[in-house]
Amino acid sequence: MAVEAAAQHSLKRKRTVDSVEKYPAKRSASWGILTNQGSWADRSPLHEAASQGRLLALKTLLSQGYNVNTLTIDHVTPLHEACLGDHVGCARILLEAGANVNATTIDGVTPLFNACSRGSASCAELLLEYGANTQLETCLPSPTHEASSKGYSECLDVLISWGIDVDQDIPHLGTPLYVACKGQHLACVRKLLHAGANVQYGKQFDTPLHIAAQQTSTDIVSLLVDFGADINTRNLDFKRPVDAAAARSPVEKLLLMYEANPCSLCQLCRLHIRNCIGQSRLHLIPHLQLPKILKNFLQYRETIRNF
């Protein structure tokens, strides 16, 4: 048995070394595995219990001395597994036991990213309470982009309440607003705009309205225009949003209508005031010495007629 175990251990070390040689980028990430036998387990019993939401088993394993931050070969922790499975009880037990809330896999994935990938607002809130970073310095996978691209508006709500940068730009993805428009997630688009996302920031020279025009949702196009999207902005191909829309589609007809009917004075005033207030201070609008109807109008909660 001892000989067999030693052989398996040697084979596993050889596979890891081969992987490191084949993929040099993983060398530094894998070096810790080669030098620390405490993280050899590819999927430990702790990982299994966390991924399946087995709270009692998780507590038992931790009481038996299992390392709460034990890693797989790809640096996945039990906390990653718990958040991906939307097991908030398991995530809490792991965090209370000292789990690294900002642990990253070799692909740069954090537990918060996993929570947003699953749409687990409860896990996201818990992680943020324990100090999870909403945005890392390097362009690693972004929880905000993940929630926006999959339409998880509740996760987005949590992230916004913790002060994320709603205009975070990742070169190959664009801004959260851009990816939400691309996925046609109206609720996410609305939340980002209400949180102060710049309606003109998209992906390189493409604005959110450009990508929305390529889709089928007239509601998203209307919302973007209502928040000040410029229908005449041209992208790298010198195309306006209407040029990107399918011919004779409802979206094209809507954009042509906006071209023929410029913004009202009422709408222009709202946009100008919001721009003067600034994104970081939009939450202070309710405290302005203005009638309630005007404060609601500035927050897009009511429409003022006959202005």
pLDDT tens column, 192-242: 999 999 999 999 999 999 999 999 999 999 999 999 999 999 999 999 999
Residues 87 and 180 in one domain: no
In a domain, 12, yes or no: no
Share of the chain above pLDDT 70, in %: 83
CA distance 271 to 276: 9
CA distance 76 to 78: 7
Residues 209 and 249 in one domain: yes
Count of CB atoms situated within 10 Å of the CB of 171: 8
CA distance 21 to 37: 20
In a domain, 294, yes or no: yes
Query: What CATH number is associated with residue 113?
Result: 1.25.40.20
In a domain, 19, yes or no: no
Residues 94 and 152 in one domain: no
Query: What CATH number is associated with residue 274?
Result: 1.10.750.20
In a domain, 92, yes or no: yes
CA distance 211 to 179: 9
Residues 75 and 185 in one domain: no
Domain count, the chain: 3
Segment 153-167 shows an average pLDDT of 95
Q: 111-118 and 143-150 are packed helices; what angle lies between their axes, rounded to 10 degrees?
A: 10
Residues 274 and 225 in one domain: no
Range of the domain at 63: 34-133
pLDDT tens column, 107-151: 999 999 999 999 999 999 999 999 999 887 665 779 999 999 999
pLDDT tens column, 89-107: 999 999 999 999 999 999 9
Residues 178 and 82 in one domain: no
Unique residue bearing structure tokens 């919001």: 274
- Residue that finishes a domain, picked among 100, 133, 166: 133
Residues 246 and 267 in one domain: no
- Residue that finishes a domain, picked among 67, 102, 133: 133
The whole-chain average pLDDT of the chain stands at 86
Residues 160 and 77 in one domain: no
